Amino acid sequence: MIDFKLVRKEVVELLQEIIRFDTTNPPGNERELAEFFKKKFDEEGIENKILDAPDEKRATFWARIPGEEGGKGLLLLSHLDVVPADKKQWSVDPFSGEIKDGYIYGRGALDIKILGAMHAVVMFLLKRNNIKLKKDLIMLSVADEEEGGEAGAKYVLEKYPELTECPVVLGEGGYGTTGILPDNKLLFSLSTGEKGFVWVKVKTKGQPGHGSMPIKDSAPNRLIEFLHILINHKFQLKFADSMREFFKGFASHQGGAAKLIMNNVQSLGSIGFIRKKLEENPKLGAAIQNTISVTMVNLGYKGNVIPEEAEARLDCRVVPGTTVDDFLSELRKLAEPYDVEIEPLISFNPNESPIDTEIYSVIKNVLSEEGVVMLPFISPGITDTRYFRMRGSLGYGIVPIIVPVEELNRIHGIDERVSVDNMEWGTKVMFEIVKRYLAK
């Protein structure tokens, strides 16, 4: 038996240490942190490598505990980089790893240096306790997640497929929360899939002229009319397999009308007031439909000139069960009456892993023994796990901590932090999942 009270100190100190590497992306500069991990893993006698990146100051860290039966088992995925933090707005230095009131503060404390620390300690514990695994356990902590993964996950999957491909990947995405289920029950939303995205340029040309004599079908007018249509457009609700399971599971903790609605959400969800209620939770609303956010508009250059051109950018997100192409053809249909051009810039298709898998059951059981209800959920945002799902891996997002929902607003925000208690609990849960899934 491992005493996780003793592990607590180790995992907390490791997180503090890795927060102190400023891996703000851009530019990332992840190599020094990768070298720090290398030293730690060398000391533990665990096989590891630093994988290169297109830029020599950047790198990805890779480690493996080989299984006895040969072949790959499980890959623990995290990233070394973090988003920028404005020191002036924080109550502590975001790169100090300071502990205050039982919390470790720092950029990356929730996204996602926390996972790097937990995954590493899980590997150390398996090795030190000489726990034999059936198949390979791999830890991969990549560069460049926060800027799309071109220099990290995407790069190493292409360049080092033999090291990085794995049938099952556990990455970031799902967190446990309090205050959502009734009776103080704890809910863990396991991320089983991610919405796809397409960034679109909308462009149109028209008759230019003097602002004193309006042109009804000018480029800006038609663009604005089209954007107005988009803002008010209701996409059909679409429930991915995971979201159907989510509502079914959620219903079992409800009573009365709520239970009835949740159980029949596919048929009832589109009813006006029910849809409105579902959409009150922005994360839930986003998980069950395609969405469009207007992010940039460029309409002219002078106050009294009607310009010839008008342009806008859209951030569009697409639910699993459909494709970016399906979405674009719907968008083009909407655009037809306004004579605007739709140009997709970059995109990635939605992706989802099934829930009738062994690893899914293992995670669910481990959490259930801890008194936590686990339900699958589609993440509105993207993580590097998508690259692995697209290559045929099962991919699930699990950050094993339980926090009040508001704490999650600190992700990419101010005073990002994680409690020392959560570090201990999460490491225990992660260790148990890996052991139960892979140990002989």
Q: Residue 365 is encoded by which pair of tokens?
A: 């059981």
Residue 294 C-beta: closest distance to Zn ion, Å: 25
**Smaller CB separation from Zn ion, 172 or 194:** 172
SS3 6: helix
CB 143 within 8 A of CB 81: yes
**Rounded distance between C-alpha atoms, residue 199 and residue 325, angstroms:** 12
Of the ranges 88-96, 103-111, 130-138, 354-362, which one interacts with Zn ion (CB under 5 A)?
103-111
Give 166-199 as a DSSP string.
Answer: -SEEEES---EEESSSSTT-EEEEEEEEE-EEEE
Residue 172 C-beta: closest distance to Zn ion, Å: 5
Q: Residue 265 is encoded by which pair of tokens?
A: 């959400």
**Smaller CB separation from Zn ion, 161 or 381:** 381
Residues between 298 and 327 with contacts to Zn ion, criterion CB under 5 A? none
**Smaller CB separation from Zn ion, 80 or 112:** 112
Residue 142 C-beta: closest distance to Zn ion, Å: 10
**Smaller CB separation from Zn ion, 73 or 174:** 174
- x/- mask, Zn ion, residues 23-62, rule CB under 5 A, reads ----------------------------------------
Residue 97 C-beta: closest distance to Zn ion, Å: 18
**Rounded distance between C-alpha atoms, residue 91 and residue 163, angstroms:** 41
Helix or strand (DSSP H, E) at 354? none
- x/- mask, Zn ion, residues 146-175, rule CB under 5 A, reads --------------------------x---
Residue 301 C-beta: closest distance to Zn ion, Å: 38
Spatial CA neighbour of 166 closest among 192, 140, 127: 140
Residue 194 C-beta: closest distance to Zn ion, Å: 12
**Smaller CB separation from Zn ion, 195 or 238:** 195
Spatial CA neighbour of 30 closest among 9, 49, 55: 55
Residue 402 C-beta: closest distance to Zn ion, Å: 19
**Smaller CB separation from Zn ion, 206 or 426:** 426
Cα distance between the two ends of the chain: 16
Please say whether the dihedral angle defined by the alpha carbons of residues 16, 26, 90 and 404, taken in this order, is positive or negative: negative
Residue 214 C-beta: closest distance to Zn ion, Å: 48
Residue 411 C-beta: closest distance to Zn ion, Å: 8
194 binds Zn ion (CB under 5 A): no
Number of chain residues interacting with Zn ion (CB under 5 A):
3
User: Residue type at 97?
Assistant: G
* Angle CA 2–357–175, to nearest 5: 60
Residue 30 C-beta: closest distance to Zn ion, Å: 13
**Smaller CB separation from Zn ion, 111 or 241:** 111
Residue 111 C-beta: closest distance to Zn ion, Å: 4
**Smaller CB separation from Zn ion, 78 or 427:** 78
Residues between 104 and 123 with contacts to Zn ion, criterion CB under 5 A? 111-112
Phi/psi at 390 (5° precision): -65, -20
Q: Is 392 left (phi over 0), alpha (psi -120 to 50) or beta?
A: left
**Smaller CB separation from Zn ion, 112 or 316:** 112
- x/- mask, Zn ion, residues 243-282, rule CB under 5 A, reads ----------------------------------------
Q: Residue 1 is encoded by which pair of tokens?
A: 């038996």
Q: Residue 371 is encoded by which pair of tokens?
A: 């008194």
**Smaller CB separation from Zn ion, 15 or 112:** 112
Spatial CA neighbour of 23 closest among 94, 98, 88, 77: 94
**Rounded distance between C-alpha atoms, residue 388 and residue 158, angstroms:** 11
According to DSSP, residue 43 is labeled H
Spatial CA neighbour of 230 closest among 373, 309, 121, 330: 330
**Smaller CB separation from Zn ion, 79 or 222:** 79
**Rounded distance between C-alpha atoms, residue 397 and residue 376, angstroms:** 10
Residues that bind Zn ion (CB under 5 A): 111-112, 172
